[in-house]
Amino acid sequence: MTISLKQQRIATEVSTSSTPSVVDAYIQDVRESQLYANGKPVVLNGQSLTLPALAYAARRPRTRIALSADPSVRSGVEASRAVIQSKVDRNVSVYGVTTGFGGSADTRTDDAIALGAALLQHQHGGVILPNWRDSCSEDSSSEDADESDEPLPLNDPVSGTTMPESWVRGAVLVRMNSLIRGHSGVRWALIEKMGQLLIHNITPVVPLRGSISASGDLSSLSYIAGTLIGNPGIRVWSSQPCITSTSSNGLANGSKSAPKKRVTRSGRTILPSRKALEHYGIEPLPLASKEHLGILNGTAFSASVAAQAAQGLQSLAMLSIATTALATEALTGTAHSFVPFISQARPHPGQITAAATLHALLQGSSFATGTEQGAHAVEEEVKIADDAGLLRQDRYALRTAPQWLGPMLEDVAKVRETVRIEINSTTDNPLIEAHGPASPTSDGGKDEPVPGTVHHGGNFQALHMTTVMDHARLGLALLGKISFAQLTETVNATMNRGLPPNLAGGEPSLDYGFKGIDINAASYLGELHSLGGMNVGVGSVSAEMHNQSVNSLALVSARYTLQAYDVLSLLLASHLVVMCQAVDLRAIQREFSEHAARVIRSEVALTLSTAIASPVSEADINALSALLVYEIQDCLDKNSTMDTPARMSKAAGAGALPWVEFCASRPDLIVAAASFPALRSRLAARLARLSGELKCAYMGIPVDVLPRTTTTTSDLPASIASASRGPAPASVYLAPATRALYEFVRVDLGVRMHGSANIRGDVFGMRSGGLVGADVEGEGVEATHGDSISRVCEAIRDGRMDVVVAGMFEGAVAAASA
């Protein structure tokens, strides 16, 4: 059965009409983030907070935050507040204002402020280590003591028990955006006060664990409320130095007084909330009726962490497409796997997008095949007799990439849309529906009610966040699976189509290249499998007097999803560094093959002219050279695990049979058959030298480091043999799109090709003297693999990689459409 062009077009239209391209959305998100970097404010109106805005503001404290200037937004907040105030003034019973909470809602009180304080009191139960009580007060001190007997912690006590500041900042932003919708009965001043925390970069220290995300993230949000009222028992991260003083008691005893321990991080200090507020001239805000519950009763933390996880999922999914394109080039794969016909025959939107993007990224590549005719490329037919027994198609990790990445792209769109709705929702209970203006009554009396309705419901149940985070975590694990498959096939000499084992830049017997990274990648994938297999949503248990009989554990799921993001970013950073090494080695292989053909021809011509008195025709030289080139190259590809001298000797020897057969078949050349041993010796030496000179040129090291066991040279032109290829030597062979990614790693991040120390013979610790004690960043000293991968990982996590990948996609799609 064949599919007509009309059927293909219809299938494409149907599959893409309901789902905007996730690649286009990604490009727009990256560009939006750049606007915030350039000073555009994040404006909150309760309706249009985007994931890029939230993620950017959460992680970058200098982001400008503004409340909507639309008068209707403020009037909506004030109208809902008026409804609550009217109920309080008329002694109307309202949940959380005159009643207890949850399973204790059968209690009653007319003291709404004391009730709110009791709410905060019982929710401030999270465990934070170490205990910072009084550690920053002016009268704090401790005797000078030997602390050597103190046990070292099993985990970092700060990061192990408290949330990262970005999670908390994101939660403040989400809660402000929810409250500003005018359904919560809080004052405008409360929303402004929350904004001051963000503006002055005062971040509450919030326990990592404790929320079940049922009646919202109650415990977590209580620490934001405690900060707003200046509770000295609540700690914050601040740029203000911690205040300490010596104790007169210590001085009287003649001992040197030492301040108590305090925690600092990147210029940030933990101190009591009241001191931080005072430092910035911020007055604590006594909360009014319903406001305690208005802060606590929402999904802000679940949504904040989920939003940042969703951003991470999108970034890593897009990077997976980019690294797959580079892997296709590294393994000399084919773009035929990504032609439109294949995906249009199975028109899942994500698969179509993944295939089209991969195909566009590979256009112009010298390594990938099937790009010459664009989307209409036709695979070259090969007769059985000429097929040489090679793989007829790429392995799964490349060939089925659209089918594997496609579902991930569809999940990205679903996850992001669900989280977008959540961060622009009201997740309180009760909800206030105001029916009239904000002013209580025309005559100011308290007996006439303000029109409005109080609705009791359960918008705080955060299961939407749980389900998408559970699914996102599975997606991150699946992205890791294809990344690992591509990585391990590339370092495996039996699968990588002629590249050295472990992608060693030096000799395989003494340079194990990326073997350790291959092992690390397996560790990363194993952890991703464990995280991806979790289904947090079905793990909840009854809580709070069985009132919270079903709870979402959304924050737990989002936490684990960000953990999976961290692990996958390590794997993809490793993958990208490995692929850059692979394309460098592929470029050396390509250039070696081109120059080796000339070396072989010159040696064939020299040997024949020496052995035979009469002139030899150019046709015979060319014919015999072609036979040797084929056999030698085939032998080289099959023996990449050998060190260079032995490998070149064996490869040169592979020409024996075609040489003897060719010469013996010609009476005028038969005398030259016996000359092959001399040819083999010279050829092996010249090819070995050629290989060494090219590696030196690609790694930017002088050729005089090569062993001088022979005076033979490769006869390369001086401009080729001695000239460094620069920091990004494989650029000329790559597609314009993937070239940008490769050059970002090689040039911008300074991650150079590995192997120079192995070729020089000065690997740190190899022998006494030499580099012992040298600075790892010193001239000519290679960074560790881990340091190189760390640079890439940092670029992934801080957003620089997104700018590069979005630019790749934008340029490739534009070129494909031209």
Other beta carbons within 10 Å of 385:
6
3-state secondary structure of 238: strand
Scanning the structure block, which residue is given the tokens 């005018």?
A: 182
Do 695 and 755 meet the contact criterion of CB atoms below 8 Å apart?
yes
CA-nearest of 72, 326, 68 to 195 is 68
Quick check: bond before 430 cis, omega within 30? Answer: yes
Give the whole-angstrom CA distance, residue 272 versus residue 289: 25
Burial class (CB in 10 A: 0-12, 13-18, 19+), 675: middle
In DSSP terms, which residues pair with 548 in a beta bridge? 543
List Cβ neighbours of 767 (8 Å cut-off, separation of 6 or more). none
Report the catalytic residues. Answer: 95
Do 270 and 237 meet the contact criterion of CB atoms below 8 Å apart?
yes
Burial class (CB in 10 A: 0-12, 13-18, 19+), 123: buried
Phi then psi for 550, rounded to 5 degrees?
-130, 130
3-state secondary structure of 4: coil
CA-nearest of 472, 308, 475, 344 to 405 is 475
Give the whole-angstrom CA distance, residue 498 versus residue 488: 15
Quick check: bond before 130 cis, omega within 30? Answer: yes
Residue 747 has what DSSP assignment? I
| Residue burial 65-83, b: 16+ Cβ < 10 Å; e: rest | bebbeeeebbebbbbbbbb
List Cβ neighbours of 86 (8 Å cut-off, separation of 6 or more). 92, 440, 446, 449, 450, 452
Residue 229 has what DSSP assignment? T
Give the whole-angstrom CA distance, residue 583 versus residue 731: 9
Q: How far is CA 495 from CA 126, 322, 338, 574, 640, in A?
A: 52, 21, 21, 19, 11
Q: HEC states along 654-676?
A: CCHHHHHHHHHCCCCCHHHHHHH
Give the β-pairing of 203-204 and 42-44: unpaired
Per the structure block, which two tokens stand in for 411?
Answer: 């999940």
Phi then psi for 207, rounded to 5 degrees?
-60, 145
Strand order of the β-sheet with 235-238 is 203-204, 235-238, 268-272, 264-265
CA-nearest of 185, 179, 190 to 84 is 185
Other beta carbons within 10 Å of 643:
15
Can you point out the beta strands (E) in 37-144?
Answer: 42-44, 65-67
- Which helix (H) or strand (E) element contains residue 269? strand 268-272
Per the structure block, which two tokens stand in for 109?
Answer: 């009180």
Give the β-pairing of 42-44 and 65-67: parallel
List Cβ neighbours of 35 (8 Å cut-off, separation of 6 or more). none
Scanning the structure block, which residue is given the tokens 């992608």?
A: 503
